[in-house]
């Protein structure tokens, strides 16, 4: 309860500011229309006209909400105009990239913790890889994979998403696999445990909290990667493609609705990861 009130009032404040901004930004068009018609228009007459324009500069919240509702529930979910359909396409890409990213991140982390030479030679490049703006690579990954005969956009999208999501997993897993202290490692040595047993019985369980903490960051990064992968060069499916179409047809309502659909998808994914985390912690006997 102590958190709901402040959050709600900040949200309310955002909505109010949004309404004021859309009145301000859309008023130019109303005044222009009035001037062209040769009439003058008062402030009180102007305000309602900023609320339901067809192509507003900044659509007010209720217009975005209506468009979102229409997109989500207005038609069959298999229709190409349904946001649920496009969100599903984006979701599929996100999950593929997320899976790939987790596998790549965990394997690399295992190698880095096992071999010092991997730590020294690969880790700096992993960091540099994240300073390369992925969007510079995205169009190229897509054309190259189409030339190599890979049909559809699923795989290039997943590669881009994995490129963004492997890094948080890698960093956290390296930290997690190294988190057991010398005392615990020594104890396992006195039991006569080898490298493999130490890894399975001590390092891996110890890294789990780090692993789950990184998943939330990774899934958000994966969603960004998928949307970026849907932006360039002629995609027609997915929330990113919807944004591009809205931008090309100059239809801001489509853009805002798909932006909010993406936000809802992001929220659901983060909540889902949190749920999996809590389930896993309970199964492992960690209270929390």
Partner 1 sequence: MSKTKENLIAVFGGTGLVVGFWLLVKLDIPSPFHYAALCLAFVFQAAWVEATVGLRRPIWARLCRIEAPIYFGLMVLLLWEGLVRSLGVAPVILPAPSAIAAQIATSLPTLWTDFAQTILKGAIPGFLIGAGAAFVVAIAIDRSPFLQRGLLPIGNFVAALPIVGLAPILVMWFGFDWQSKAAVVVVMVFFPILVNIVAGLQASERMQADLMATWGASYWQTLWKLRLPAAMPFIFNGLKIASTLALIGAIVAEFFGSPVYGMGFRISTEVGRLGLDMVWAEIAVAALAGTALYGAVSLIERWVTFWHPSQRH
**What is the rounded distance in angstroms from the CA atom of residue 225 to the CA atom of residue 159?**
9
The DSSP element (H or E) to which 224 belongs, if any, is helix 204-230
Q: How far is CA 171 from CA 51, 175, 183, 194, in A?
A: 47, 6, 23, 25
Considering only residues 57, 72, 204, 208, which one is a binding residue for partner 1 as defined by CB under 8 A?
A: 57
Residue 250 CA to residue 236 CA, distance in Å, equals: 16
Q: How many CA atoms lie within 13 A of 270 on its CB side?
A: 11
List the one residue from 233, 278, 279, 284 that touches partner 1 (CB under 8 A). Answer: 233
Q: Where in 151-190 is the site for partner 1 (CB under 8 A)?
A: none
- Residue 267 binds partner 1 (CB under 8 A): yes
Minimum distance from CB of 194 to partner 1 (Å)?
Answer: 18
Q: How far is the CB of 253 from partner 1 (least distance, A)?
A: 11
User: CB of residue 140 vs partner 1: minimum separation in angstroms?
Assistant: 5
State phi, psi for 266 to the nearest 5 degrees: -60, -45
In whole angstroms, give the CA distance from residue 61 to residue 15. Answer: 7
- Span from 77-85, 174-182, 189-197, 265-273 in contact with partner 1 (CB under 8 A): 265-273
245 and 86 Cβ atoms separated by less than 8 Å: no
Task: For residue 85, give both structure tokens.
Answer: 């359909």
Nearer to partner 1, 159 or 255 (CB): 255
Is residue 121 within the footprint of partner 1 (CB under 8 A)?
yes
Q: Which of 44, 76, 128, 287 binds partner 1 (CB under 8 A)?
A: 128
Residue 224 touches partner 1, criterion: CB under 8 A = yes
Token pair listed for 136: 């510079």
Given its phi and psi angles, is residue 38 left (phi above 0), alpha (psi -120 to 50 degrees) or beta?
left
Residue from 100, 159, 177, 239 that binds partner 1 (CB under 8 A)?
239
Structure tokens at 238: 């997915």
Among 23, 159, 162, 227, binds partner 1 (CB under 8 A): 227
Q: Does 132 bind partner 1 (CB under 8 A)?
A: yes
Q: Return the range that interacts with partner 1 (CB under 8 A); candidates 46-54, 186-194, 197-205, 222-230.
A: 222-230
Q: How far is CA 67 from CA 70, 253, 279, in A?
A: 5, 7, 36
Binding mask 188-217 for partner 1 (x = CB under 8 A): ----------------------------xx
Residue tagged 């899976």 (tokens) = 99
Contact residues toward partner 1 (CB under 8 A) are 2-3, 5-11, 14, 25, 57, 115-117, 120-125, 128, 130-137, 139-140, 143-144, 147-148, 216-217, 220, 223-224, 227-228, 231-233, 239-240, 243-244, 246-247, 250, 252, 255-256, 258-259, 262-263, 266-267, 270
């Amino acid at each position: 309860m102590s958190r709901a009130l402040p959050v709600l009032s900040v949200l309310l404040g955002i909505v109010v500011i949004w309404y004021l901004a859309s009145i301000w930004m859309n008023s130019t068009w109303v005044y222009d229309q009035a001037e062209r018609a040769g009439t003058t228009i008062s402030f009180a007459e102007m305000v309602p006209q900023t609320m339901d324009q067809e192509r507003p500069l900044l659509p007010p919240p209720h217009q975005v909400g209506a468009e979102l509702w229409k997109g989500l529930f207005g038609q069959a979910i298999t229709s190409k105009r349904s946001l649920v359909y496009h969100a599903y396409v984006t979701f599929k890409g996100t999950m593929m990239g997320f899976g790939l990213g987790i596998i790549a991140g965990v394997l690399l982390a295992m190698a880095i913790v096992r071999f010092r030479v991997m730590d020294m030679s690969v880790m700096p490049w992993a960091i540099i890889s994240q300073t390369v703006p992925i969007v510079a690579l995205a169009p190229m990954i897509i054309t190259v994979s189409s030339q190599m005969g890979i049909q559809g956009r699923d795989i290039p999208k997943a590669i881009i998403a994995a490129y963004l999501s492997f890094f948080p997993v890698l960093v956290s897993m390296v930290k997690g696999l190294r988190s057991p202290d010398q005392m615990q490692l020594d104890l396992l040595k006195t039991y006569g445990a080898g490298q493999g047993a130490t890894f399975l019985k001590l390092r891996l369980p110890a890294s789990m909290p780090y692993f789950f903490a990184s998943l939330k960051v990774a899934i958000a990064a994966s969603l960004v990667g998928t949307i970026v992968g849907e932006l360039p060069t002629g995609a027609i499916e997915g929330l990113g493609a919807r944004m591009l179409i809205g931008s090309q047809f100059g239809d801001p309502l489509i853009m805002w609705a798909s932006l909010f659909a993406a936000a809802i998808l992001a929220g659901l994914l983060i909540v889902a990861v949190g749920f999996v985390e809590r389930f896993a912690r309970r199964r492992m006997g960690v209270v929390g």
